[in-house]
Amino acid sequence: MQADPSDLIQRAQQGDQAAFEALYRAHVGRVYALCLRLTADAVRAEELTQDAFVRAWERLASFRGESAFSSWLYRLTVNVVFLSQRAGRRRALRLFTTDDPAALERPADGSGTAGVQLDLERAIAALPPGAREVFVLHDVEGYRHHEIAGLTGIAVGTSKAQLFRARRLLREALSR
Residue type at 9? I
> How far is the CA of 40 from the CAs of 79, 104, 125, 145, in angstroms?
16, 10, 5, 21
- Specify the residue, 93 or 174, whose C-beta has the smaller distance to another protein: 174
Query: Can you give the binding site for another protein, defined by CB under 8 A?
Result: 1, 15, 17, 20-21, 24-25, 28-30, 32-33, 36, 42, 45-46, 49-50, 53-55, 57-58, 60-62, 79, 82-84, 86-89, 103-104, 106, 113, 116-117, 120-121, 124, 135, 139-140, 142, 151, 153, 160, 163-164, 167-168, 170-171, 174-175
For another protein, give the closer residue by CB, 7 or 21. Answer: 21
Residue at 12: amino acid letter = A
Nearest to 145 by CA among 161, 154, 130, 156: 156
Nearest to 38 by CA among 143, 173, 113: 143
Question: Do the Cβ atoms of 25 and 8 come closer than 8 Å?
Answer: no
Looking at the Cβ atoms of 5 and 16, the one nearer to another protein is 16
Please, which residue, 86 or 91, has the CB nearer to another protein?
A: 86
